[in-house]
């Protein structure tokens, strides 16, 4: 268990004496007793697992620790990220650290954001049965089926927006009866949106031209040459762009 805490802030004396309640869980069918309140990831480690797969960022961003589980007496299959989901009494689970899925290869420069692109690269999206299992299995609560429907209709903007928070954990692909790799479809949609549907930033074009002309070279060189004292003074006196919302005001 990751019990590391800041050395300056030791737990209080009484806290050391509190024994956590132990609960029973099963990993891949084998039972362990672990303290309640842990995430699935920390419970696995408490039980002695030294994980290589099924663990990644430990913060809910990488999708490496997709986990499926049931609790005793309940027929329903549940899902969660191991680093974000708390253990429950009589939970039994397995991790799905990898699931095969086909990704199309394309040259983004050659593509156009037209409706047919999705079906050209991923014709299997037309096999969608609208069972909605992909949505139910998504640990990010994304409306996966809706963005697949948008992809069928060629709506690049909606695919991009609805899928934006996707971690690419692959649980959707693992449960789809139509064998769709939803997250790859979504990736294509977002790249089309970012490259073709959002206009380029014109202020960026302007700045690149100025840099190309060497407009800042002299100022940068003079900053590099400046004595520390001069530099500190310049830094301290630099004006800070105000927040448009709240005017700065003296503290109490």
Partner 1 sequence: MPYPECMQESLNRVETTRARRLKESMLRMSLAEKQQMLEGFHPDYRAESFRALSVGANKGDRVPHELADLLEARSRIDPAAFNLDRIDYDTDVLILGGGGAGTAAALTAQEHGVQVLLATKLRWGDSNTIMAQGGIQAADKENDSPARHYLDLVGGGGFVNVSELARALVTDAPGIIRWLEQLGVMFDKEPDGTMRTVHGGGTSRKRMHSCRDYTGMEIMRVLRDEARNQGVRVLEFSPAVELLLDDSGQCAGAVLYDLETEEFFVVHAHCTVIATGGMGRLHVQGFPTTNHYGATADGIVLAYRAGASLKFMDTVQYHPTGVAYPEQILGQLVTEKVRGLGAQLINVDGEQFVNELETRDLVSAAIICECTKRNRGVMTPTGMFGVWLDTPMIDIKRGAGTTARAIPAMVRQYKRYNIDITKEPILVYPTQHYQNGGIRINERCETGIPGLYVAGEASGGVHGRNRLMGNSLLDILVYGRRSGKNAALASSRVTLGSLSLKHVEEYHRELIATGNGSERVAPLILPDYTSAVSKIRRKGAVPVG
Contact set for partner 1, span 141-180 (CB under 8 A): 141, 160, 164-165, 167-168
In this chain, which of 72, 77, 108, 131 binds partner 1, going by CB under 8 A? 108
x/- binding map, residues 114-143, to partner 1, per CB under 8 A? Answer: --------------------------xx--
Helix H or strand E encompassing 66: strand 66-71
Which phi and psi angles does 246 have, rounded to 5°?
-120, 120
DSSP string, 5-61: --TTSPPPHHHHHPPPPEEEEEETTEEEEEETT-BHHHHHHHTT---SSS-SSSSSS
Q: Based on CB atoms, which residue is closest to partner 1, 130 or 228?
A: 228
Q: How far is the CB of 154 from partner 1 (least distance, A)?
A: 17
Q: Based on CB atoms, which residue is closest to partner 1, 75 or 239?
A: 239
Those residues with Cβ within 8 angstroms of residue 115's Cβ, 6 or more apart along the chain or in another chain: 153, 154, 155, 156
Q: How far is the CB of 71 from partner 1 (least distance, A)?
A: 17
Residues numbered 42 to 71 that lie near partner 1 (CB under 8 A) are: 42, 45-53, 55-62, 64
With binding defined as CB under 8 A, does residue 39 bind partner 1? yes
Q: How far is the CB of 126 from partner 1 (least distance, A)?
A: 23
With binding defined as CB under 8 A, does residue 199 bind partner 1? yes
Region of 170 on the Ramachandran plot (φ > 0 left; ψ -120 to 50 alpha; else beta): left
In this chain, which of 17, 123, 201, 213 binds partner 1, going by CB under 8 A? 201
Q: How far is the CB of 243 from partner 1 (least distance, A)?
A: 7
In this chain, which of 29, 30, 202, 213 binds partner 1, going by CB under 8 A? 202
Contact call for residues 45 and 108 (beta carbons, < 8 A): no
Q: Based on CB atoms, which residue is closest to partner 1, 148 or 156?
A: 156
Q: Would you call 109 exposed, middle or buried from its count of C-beta atoms within 10 A (0-12, 13-18, 19+)?
A: exposed
Helix 182-192 and helix 156-163, axial crossing angle in degrees, nearest 10? 120
Those residues with Cβ within 8 angstroms of residue 83's Cβ, 6 or more apart along the chain or in another chain: 39, 40, 41, 55, 56, 57, 58, 59, 60, 65
x/- binding map, residues 211-240, to partner 1, per CB under 8 A? Answer: x----x--xx--xx---x--xx-xxx-xxx
Interface stretch with partner 1, choices 88-96, 115-123, 130-138, 184-192 (CB under 8 A): 184-192
């Amino acid at each position: 268990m990751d019990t590391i805490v800041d050395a300056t802030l030791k737990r209080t004396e009484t806290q050391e004496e509190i024994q956590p309640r132990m609960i029973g869980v099963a990993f891949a069918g084998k039972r362990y007793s672990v303290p309640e309140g842990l995430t699935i990831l920390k419970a696995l480690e408490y039980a002695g697992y030294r994980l290589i797969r099924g663990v990644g960022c430990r913060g809910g961003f990488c999708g490496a620790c997709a986990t499926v589980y049931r609790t005793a007496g309940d027929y329903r299959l549940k899902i969660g990220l191991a680093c974000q989901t708390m253990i429950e009494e009589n939970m039994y689970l397995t991790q799905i650290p990898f699931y095969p899925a086909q990704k199309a290869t394309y040259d983004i420069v050659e593509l156009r954001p037209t409706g047919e692109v999705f079906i050209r690269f991923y014709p299997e999206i037309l096999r969608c049965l609208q069972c909605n299992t992909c949505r139910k299995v998504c640990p990010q609560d994304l409306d996966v089926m809706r963005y697949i429907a948008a992809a069928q209709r060629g709506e690049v903007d909606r695919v991009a927006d609805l899928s934006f928070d996707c971690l690419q954990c692959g649980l959707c692909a693992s449960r789809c009866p139509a064998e769709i790799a939803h997250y790859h479809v979504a990736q294509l949609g977002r790249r089309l949106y970012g490259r073709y549907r959002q206009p380029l930033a014109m202020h960026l074009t302007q700045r690149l031209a100025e840099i190309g002309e060497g407009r800042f070279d002299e100022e940068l060189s003079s900053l590099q040459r400046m004595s520390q004292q001069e530099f500190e003074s310049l830094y301290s006196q630099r004006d800070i762009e105000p927040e448009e919302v709240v005017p700065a005001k003296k503290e109490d």
